[in-house]
Amino acid sequence: MIPTPLSTALALMTRLPSGLNRAPDDRDQGLAVACYPLVGLIVGLLLWLGGAAGGWLHWQSTPLAILLVAAWVLITGALHLDGLADSADAWLGGYGDRERTLRIMKDPASGPAGVCAVVLVLLGKSLALWTLLDLGWSLPLLLSPVLARAAGASLFLLLPYARPEGLGRAGADHLPRDKVTVALALTALLAVLLGGLAGAAWVLISVFVTWAAVRVLRQRLGGFTGDTAGALIEVVETLVLLAAALLL
């Protein structure tokens, strides 16, 4: 298949079949950023269907929540969790030194901060899903991946890329800013249409977390990296689920 924006985004962000028979070029990767929220919708739909199937089979909420989080990791190939771990290690180990922070971020080994960050996110998702499944409300499971990938895409609009090379360099250099802006607006509209006031609250949470991340990344790195985008995706997913569970 000739690369399309969606197939490129699927190949970059998931382990789902994309049909690509050649590597996407730089322009493909730029256009793919506008499809990040759509990739989130595909991930969310798969998880929502898994939750619905578990409910139909009368599975208990606790094991079903764990299975859904495990499926979430498998679908994404733990790509964003890896970014979260790398970012957490670099943020503590490289404090006050931009080059050291970027250098630690490239180290494939995970330190204590990275392990703790991953455990907290997986635990937060599991417990939030347990609560939501108990209450029979699966909409946050559908929308949290969409909002999180919209947050990741927004980094391309709001910050320069912090490395001369890397996973997001081509996307940042060939970004269709108008298309990404439309994709972000449609994501917010979808959340509000499906979730009403709750959906609007999740959008505000995503916007606030993204604003805070942009501010800190600009101060510490002067931009963003693929790892920090992955970390933001994981944090937004978790906080949207936790907010939905806490505010019911």
Question: Going residue by residue through the chain (248 aa), what tens digit of pLDDT does each one get?
Answer: 545 889 999 999 999 998 777 777 888 899 999 999 999 999 999 999 999 999 999 999 999 999 999 999 999 999 999 999 999 999 998 888 899 999 999 988 889 999 999 999 999 999 999 999 999 999 999 999 999 999 999 999 999 999 888 778 888 888 999 999 999 999 999 999 999 999 999 999 999 999 999 999 999 999 999 999 999 999 999 999 999 999 87
End-to-end CA distance of the chain: 45
pLDDT for residue 134? 94
Quick check: 86 and 114 in contact, CB under 8 A?
yes
Between CA 25 and CA 233 the distance in angstroms is: 24
Between CA 57 and CA 59 the distance in angstroms is: 6
Between CA 113 and CA 132 the distance in angstroms is: 28
